[in-house]
Chain A
Amino acid sequence: MSSEKSPGKFQKNTSGKRLSGIIANDYLTLHRRASEGAFVVWIAIIVPAELFNGFENVVYAVPESHAALCAGKGAGRILCEKAEGFGYSTDLCSYARIDIGTAFDGGKDSPTFGLPRPNLLVSNNNNCSLLVKWFDVYHRAWNVPHLVLDIPFCYEDQKESDFRYIMDQFGTLIRTIEEMSGQKFDIEKARESVKLSSEALKEWKRFLSFAAHRPSGITAFDSFVQMAPILTSRGSRQLLDHYRMLADETEEQVKSGIFPVPGEKYRLLWDNIAPWHQLRKMSGRLADLGANITSASYTYCIGALEGRYDPYMFDGGDPLVWLARLQNFSVCPHGLNLRGKAMKEVIAKNAIDGVIFASNRSCKVYSLMQMDQMRHIREELGIPCIMIDVDHADVRKYSEETAFTRLEALLEMIESRRAQ
Chain B
Amino acid sequence: MKGFPACLEDLKAQGHTLVGCFPLYPPLELLHSFGLTPVVLWGMREDITSLTLSDRHLQPYACGVARCLSELVISRGYELLDALFMYNACDTLRNLPEILQAALIRDGRELPLFRMHIPAVPLERPYAASYLKDRIRLLVRELEAFTGKPFSQERFLKSVGLYSRRRRLCGELEKAAAEGRFNFADCAGIILAGSRMPVEDHIAALESSIQSAGGRDGGGERPGVMLSGILPPPMILLETLEHFGLRVAANDIAALKRSYAYQPAETGDPETYYEDFYRNHYPCTTILPSADRRVDTIRRMVRERDVKGFIFIGEKFCEYEYFEIPEMEKMLRKEGVQVLQLEMSMDDILNLDAYRTRIEAFSEMLCQGRQCKEA
Contacts A132-B120, A133-B319, A168-B127 hold; do A364 and B91 have CB atoms under 8 A apart?
yes
On whether the beta carbons of B88 and A91 are closer than 8 Å, the reply is no
The answer, yes or no, to whether B324 is at the interface (CB within 8 Å) is: yes
Mostly, the B contact residues are: helix
The answer, yes or no, to whether B49 is at the interface (CB within 8 Å) is: no
Measured in the bound complex, the distance between the Cα atoms of B61 and A335 in whole Å is: 19
On whether the beta carbons of B323 and A148 are closer than 8 Å, the reply is no
Measured in the bound complex, the distance between the Cα atoms of B188 and A304 in whole Å is: 49
Binds A, one of B21-29, B51-59, B141-149: B51-59
Contact partner, A148, options B92, B102, B134, B288, Cβ 8 Å: B288
Most buried by B among A89, A132, A137: A89
Contact partner, B56, options A125, A168, A371, Cβ 8 Å: A371
The answer, yes or no, to whether B121 is at the interface (CB within 8 Å) is: yes
Contacts A130-B91, A155-B115, A335-B98 hold; do A89 and B325 have CB atoms under 8 A apart?
yes
- Considering the complex, give the chain A residue whose CB is closest to the CB of B325: A87
Q: What's the nearest-Cβ distance from chain A to residue B311, in Å? A: 16
Interface residues on B, range: 35 or more
The answer, yes or no, to whether B76 is at the interface (CB within 8 Å) is: no
For chain A, residues 142 to 199, give those with C-beta under 8 angstroms from any C-beta of chain B: 148-150, 152-153, 155, 161-162, 165, 168-169, 172
Task: Write out the residue numbers on chain A whose beta carbons fall within 8 Å of the beta carbon of B303.
Answer: none
Please encode chain B, from 86 to 114, with 1 for each CB lying within 8 Å of some chain A CB and 0 for all others.
00111110110111001100000000000
Please encode chain B, from 285 to 297, with 1 for each CB lying within 8 Å of some chain A CB and 0 for all others.
1001101100100
On whether the beta carbons of B319 and A93 are closer than 8 Å, the reply is yes
On whether the beta carbons of A161 and B134 are closer than 8 Å, the reply is yes
- Considering the complex, give the chain B residue whose CB is closest to the CB of A131: B91
Task: Write out the residue numbers on chain B whose beta carbons fall within 8 Å of the beta carbon of A368.
Answer: 58-59, 62, 66, 91-92, 95, 99
On whether the beta carbons of B56 and A91 are closer than 8 Å, the reply is no
For chain B, residues 293 to 320, give those with C-beta under 8 angstroms from any C-beta of chain A: 295, 314, 316-317, 319-320
On whether the beta carbons of B102 and A372 are closer than 8 Å, the reply is yes
Q: What's the nearest-Cβ distance from chain A to residue B268, in Å? A: 25
Task: Write out the residue numbers on chain A whose beta carbons fall within 8 Å of the beta carbon of B134.
Answer: 161
The answer, yes or no, to whether A226 is at the interface (CB within 8 Å) is: no
Q: What's the nearest-Cβ distance from chain B to residue A374, in Å? A: 11
The answer, yes or no, to whether A403 is at the interface (CB within 8 Å) is: no
Contact partner, B98, options A87, A88, A336, A364, Cβ 8 Å: A336
Measured in the bound complex, the distance between the Cα atoms of B117 and A161 in whole Å is: 11
The answer, yes or no, to whether A359 is at the interface (CB within 8 Å) is: yes
Measured in the bound complex, the distance between the Cα atoms of B170 and A182 in whole Å is: 50
On whether the beta carbons of A369 and B120 are closer than 8 Å, the reply is no
On whether the beta carbons of B102 and A130 are closer than 8 Å, the reply is no
- Considering the complex, give the chain A residue whose CB is closest to the CB of B125: A172
The answer, yes or no, to whether A365 is at the interface (CB within 8 Å) is: yes
For chain B, residues 30 to 83, give those with C-beta under 8 angstroms from any C-beta of chain A: 56-59, 61-62, 66
On whether the beta carbons of A125 and B127 are closer than 8 Å, the reply is no
Contacts A148-B121, A161-B134, A335-B98 hold; do A133 and B62 have CB atoms under 8 A apart?
no
Task: Write out the residue numbers on chain A whose beta carbons fall within 8 Å of the beta carbon of B89.
Answer: 129
For chain B, residues 310 to 369, give those with C-beta under 8 angstroms from any C-beta of chain A: 314, 316-317, 319-320, 322-327, 329
Please encode chain A, from 112 to 143, with 1 for each CB lying within 8 Å of some chain B CB and 0 for all others.
00000000000001001110111011001100
Contact partner, A153, options B102, B117, B319, Cβ 8 Å: B117
Contacts A133-B324, A371-B57 hold; do A150 and B119 have CB atoms under 8 A apart?
yes
Task: Write out the residue numbers on chain B whose beta carbons fall within 8 Å of the beta carbon of A335.
Answer: 95, 97-98
Contacts A141-B327, A364-B61, A372-B99 hold; do A150 and B120 have CB atoms under 8 A apart?
yes
On whether the beta carbons of B319 and A155 are closer than 8 Å, the reply is no
On whether the beta carbons of A87 and B329 are closer than 8 Å, the reply is yes
The answer, yes or no, to whether A337 is at the interface (CB within 8 Å) is: yes
The answer, yes or no, to whether A86 is at the interface (CB within 8 Å) is: yes
On whether the beta carbons of B326 and A88 are closer than 8 Å, the reply is yes
The answer, yes or no, to whether A92 is at the interface (CB within 8 Å) is: yes
Given contacts A148-B288, A152-B88, A161-B131, 16 further A-B contacts (CB under 8 A): A91-B61, A125-B288, A129-B288, A130-B91, A133-B285, A133-B291, A133-B319, A133-B320, A137-B326, A150-B119, A153-B117, A155-B115, A172-B125, A336-B102, A365-B95, A376-B102
Residues of B whose CB lies within 8 Å of any CB of A are 56-59, 61-62, 66, 88-92, 94-95, 97-99, 102-103, 115, 117, 119-121, 125, 127-128, 131, 134, 285, 288-289, 291-292, 295, 314, 316-317, 319-320, 322-327, 329
29 A–B contacts, CB within 8 A, in A order: A87-B326, A87-B329, A88-B322, A91-B61, A91-B317, A129-B90, A129-B94, A130-B320, A132-B120, A133-B285, A136-B291, A136-B324, A137-B326, A148-B121, A150-B119, A153-B88, A165-B119, A168-B125, A168-B127, A335-B98, A359-B59, A364-B91, A364-B95, A364-B317, A368-B66, A368-B95, A369-B95, A372-B98, A372-B99
